[in-house]
Amino acid sequence: MSNIAFIGLGNMGGPMASNLLKAGHAVTVFDLIESSVAALAEEGATGADSAADAVRHADVVVTMLPAASHVKTLYLGDDGIIKASRAGTLFIDSSTIDADTARLVGKAAMDESRLFVDAPVSGGVAGAKAGTLTFIVGGSSESMEQARPVLSDMGKNVFHAGDAGAGQVAKICNNMLLAVLMAGTSEALQLAIDNGLDPKVMSDIMLESSGCNWTLQKYNPCPGVMEGVPSDNDYNGGFMTKLMNKDLNLAMAAAALSESATPMAATAQNLYKFHQNNGHADKDFSSIFRMFNKS
Ligand code: NAD
């Protein structure tokens, strides 16, 4: 059992912290939204009044924040959680951010004799709830091995992608592909509907055919086809369109630096930007289906 501080109790962080409690850890939690702290406190966590208070006695700190700006503000500076923690504390940042920020924050932690890994996740809210997330870790082997038992209490797969920042590089490559697959799957399902097919039947066909992919298996974007996914709940919960756009921006910035050609992602990025600007910023990214839907 470890003393774990968990900061950022949103769609993903809430259920991840809950799984650490179920695994028997002592968990202290903090979020800017008080009701999220209260919900975890009801499950047995200790609610903290600030991020600094949360980390003061922790062996391990997990952070799950929206974007790089939040991570920088939380970790760095005299008021940051690195300075507020004890020497030797292991920091695990599971937010999806750019690799350079992950390396910057990791170095700041190491300069103060703390350990740090970037450990973004794949698997969505359902994976966070079920404890079946995939963690994609960047950092030293020593930090990685210290993080492994805690990560295993929240996920099924733990990959060591490489040194600091490598977890974030792998994660944005994965999400770039996911954005393309979700848009393509929506397009195919709508074409089937427009030509008289039932989207459930079409989904069953593609699941056993060469077009099969994760969005069909776990996250069908067409309402009425799959239960328990955002498309079944007016696209609420899940992975917000604005967060997918953040990840596409990260992927395109990385591609620009390495002079990689990413034409599919460029198209997907424009689609998701249109979609966000048309009132879907806070809806799950699978609501991109609405862009194709004629009804
Ligand atoms: P979210 O917006 O639901 O949750 C983020 C939480 O962080 C919010 O509760 C917010 O109040 C809190 N927060 C922000 N700044 C804070 C601060 N300074 N101190 C304390 N709390 C603070 O987002 P989410 O969907 O949980 O995603 C979190 C991260 O995980 C993002 O980087 C996202 O890209 C990534 N991710 C999300 C999914 C998904 O399906 N939702 C899947 C994989 C990865």
6, 16, 65, 97, best to mutate for ligand 1 pocket (most atoms within 8 Å of CB): 65
- The pair of structure tokens assigned to 94 is 């599971």
- The pair of structure tokens assigned to 256 is 């620009």
d(CA 189, CA 185) in angstroms, rounded, equals 6
CA of 16 to the centre of ligand 1 (A): 11
19, 29, 32, best to mutate for ligand 1 pocket (most atoms within 8 Å of CB): 32
- What DSSP state is assigned to residue 31? -
pTM for this predicted structure: 0.92
ipTM: 0.99
- Which helix or strand (DSSP H or E) is residue 266 part of? helix 263-275
Q: What is the pLDDT of residues 37-87, one digit of tens each?
A: 999 999 999 999 999 999 999 999 999 999 999 999 999 988 899 999 999
Q: What is the pLDDT of residues 252-280, one digit of tens each?
A: 999 999 999 999 999 999 999 999 999 99
243, 246, 249, best to mutate for ligand 1 pocket (most atoms within 8 Å of CB): 243
CA of 266 to the centre of ligand 1 (A): 25
CA of 54 to the centre of ligand 1 (A): 17
Q: Is 98 helix (H, G, I), strand (E, B) or coil?
A: coil
d(CA 149, CA 92) in angstroms, rounded, equals 12
The yes-or-no answer to whether 3-163 and 169-292 have a common fold is no
What residue ranges line ligand 1, CB within 6 angstroms?
7-13, 30-33, 36, 51, 64-66, 70, 74, 95-96, 121, 124-125, 238-239, 243
Q: What is the pLDDT of residues 136-152, one digit of tens each?
A: 999 999 999 999 999 99
Q: What is the pLDDT of residues 152-181, one digit of tens each?
A: 999 999 999 999 999 999 999 999 999 999
List the CATH code of the domain at 169-292. 1.10.1040.10
d(CA 20, CA 42) in angstroms, rounded, equals 14
Confidence of residue 293 (pLDDT cuts 50, 70, 90): confident
CA of 68 to the centre of ligand 1 (A): 11
Q: Residue of the nearest CA to atom 8 in ligand 1?
A: 10
Q: Among this protein's residues, is 171 annotated catalytic? A: yes
The string of DSSP codes covering 5-52 is EEE--STTHHHHHHHHHHTT-EEEEE-SSHHHHHHHHHTTPEE-SSHH
List the CATH code of the domain at 3-163. 3.40.50.720
CA of 70 to the centre of ligand 1 (A): 9
Q: Which entry of 107, 171, 273, 294 is annotated as an active-site residue?
A: 171
Going from N- to C-terminal start, the domains of the chain cover 3-163, 169-292
